[in-house]
Amino acid sequence: MHEYDEQGNLLRTVATSSPEFDSQERRLLIVGSRVLAKIGPHGHFMDEATDPRAAASNYFGGYGYVPNEPIFDHAEIAVRAAEKAWRDQNPEGDPTGMIFTVRRQNFAVPTEGSILSG
């Protein structure tokens, strides 16, 4: 809304906005943030992960944690390769503040009769 004086000069503008979230969405965001705050970097609830019953030496605790096979984060591998390439090309450079990013790129899948089939 705009307000003008007698000469038509703009005196003030009042802007109103609609809320981004309704009350139900706000409740869900609050609950979700509280749940996420209880999860450790390993993806497990901290109250369970730090419970003495879960200790590897406590065979009578009822549960514990065992390692999975490692997985490869291929995006992180690409980021690290980009960082290394930059450092190799700029041995005296200072990467402070630099953020190396990657993007997903789709490739054509080789088909029967392609160059790979020989």
Q: Read out DSSP for 70-106?
A: P---HHHHHHHHHHHHHHHH-TT---TT---------
Q: Read out DSSP for 43-74?
A: SSBHHHHT-GGG-TT-TTSS----PPPP---H
What whole-number distance in Å separates Cα of residue 75 and Cα of residue 82?
11
Is 35 within the bounds of a domain? Answer: yes
Q: Are residues 80 and 45 in the same domain?
A: no
Q: pTM for this one?
A: 0.48
Average pLDDT over residues 23-30: 94
Average pLDDT over residues 87-94: 94
Q: Residue 57's pLDDT is what?
A: 84
Q: Which residue has the tokens 């700029």?
A: 90
Question: How far is the CA of 86 from the CAs of 90, 97, 105, in angstroms?
Answer: 6, 14, 21
Question: For the chain, what percent of residues have pLDDT higher than 70?
Answer: 96
Is 54 within the bounds of a domain? Answer: yes
Q: Are residues 79 and 93 in the same domain?
A: yes
Q: Are residues 60 and 79 in the same domain?
A: no
- Summarised one tens digit per residue, pLDDT across range 50-68 is 999 998 888 888 888 888 8
Q: Residue 116's pLDDT is what?
A: 59
Q: Residue 45 belongs to what domain range? A: 12-67
